A = this chain, B = another copy of it.
Amino acid sequence: MSVYTEPLQALIDELNRLPGIGPKSAQRIAFHLLKIPKEDAARLAESIVVAKDRVHWCRVCFNVCDSDTCQFCADDGRDGRVVCVVEEARDIVAIERSGAFKGRYHVLQGAISPIEGIGPEQLRVRELVKRLEDDAITELILATNPNVEGDATASYLARLIKPIGVRVTRLASGLPQGGDLEFADEVTLGHALEGRREL
């Protein structure tokens, strides 16, 4: 039963479809939108339409961009021989912030997750293999998330790509900087021990 007037219920339903927005949040946001000035609500609606219209996937690496290729693929100053494979375009922001990588990227647009019905076919894996065949790539850094899905995706890609003769590496897993040994979980600590380095 809907007690709300139809346009409001329609708005709540649409908001409820967004990731991380449950029925209560959807209701709260809908009422917020009703209360704010009309121009502000219109600006949100407009930004959705404009973003859908103008934001595309980079033809090469599937990062987000507003032209044919993204800023990283278009930048001749970056090393095209090393490609960092990430799950989502937002992961690029994190890596760029570290300032420790000057190569190019490849965005899978997800991770392998049998529970959610996402296999390699749903990801940009075919396009990655194509890039390896066409371009002079010597190293692939697998920077998928250090969780079950990310690790599974990395294992899958390593098995698939190593035979092509490209060096495949994975981001180091260990203790986060500024962390405290006492509070480290056992898996992280195990990885930190396994991956210990000579000083």
**Chain A residues with a Cβ under 8 A of chain B:** 3-8, 10-11, 13-15, 17-21, 25, 27-35, 38, 40-55, 64-66, 88-90, 92-93, 96, 109
- Cross-chain contact B45 with A48 (CB below 8 angstroms): yes
Considering residues A18, A35, A66, which has the most beta carbons from chain B within 10 angstroms of its beta carbon? A18
Contact of A52 among B38, B92, B109 (CB under 8 A): B38
Contact B48 A52 (CB under 8 A): no
A43 to B16: give the CA distance in the assembly, Å. Answer: 13
Q: How far is the CA of A58 from the CA of B195 in the complex (A)?
A: 66
CB-CB under 8 A for A20 and B31, given A5-B64, A41-B52, A45-B48: no
Q: A45-B45, A109-B35 are in contact. Are A51 and B11 (CB under 8 A)?
A: yes
Q: Which of B5, B28, B65 contacts A66 (CB under 8 A)? A: B5
In the assembled complex, which residues on chain B have CB atoms less than 8 Å from the CB atom of A45? Answer: 45-46, 48-49
Q: Which residue of B lies closest to A27 (CB)?
A: B90
Docked Cα-Cα span, A33 to B19, in Å, equals: 10
